[in-house]
């Protein structure tokens, strides 16, 4: 028998953390834009990465399909 907590956890996936190294000019541009938009640096970066994957002109396939991205 499945518990309430188990059924909820299977429907919700927690965000994942990554660490990247950026050139100083890219970091500065992200920092400026995050201040202008009133977003955290992390939130803006995640948003831009997600948009970039959705708009991939190479059609990278299932890894970037709208259905996969919508789950997050």
Of 4-18, 24-38, 47-61, where does the model show the most confidence?
Answer: 24-38
Residues 47-68 pLDDT 10s? 999 999 998 767 665 455 555 5
pLDDT in the model for residue 12: 82
The pTM score is 0.62
**pLDDT by residue (tens digit) across 33-51?**
999 999 999 999 999 999 9
The two three-digit tokens of residue 65, written as one number: 């399909």
d(CA 19, CA 41): 13
For the chain, what are the domain ranges?
Answer: 22-70
Asked whether 6 and 16 are in contact (CB, 8 A), the reply is no
Rounded-to-integer distance, Cα 66 and Cα 2, Å: 30
Four-residue CA torsion sign, 49, 52, 54, 59? negative
Better pLDDT: 20 or 6 = 20
């Amino acid at each position: 028998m499945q518990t309430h907590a188990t059924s909820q956890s299977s429907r919700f996936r927690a965000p994942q953390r990554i660490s990247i190294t950026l050139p100083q000019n890219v970091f500065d541009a992200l920092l400026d834009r995050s201040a202008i938009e009133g977003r955290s640096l992390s939130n803006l970066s995640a948003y831009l990465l997600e948009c970039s994957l959705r708009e991939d002109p190479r059609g990278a396939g299932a890894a970037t399909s709208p259905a996969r991205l919508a789950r997050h």
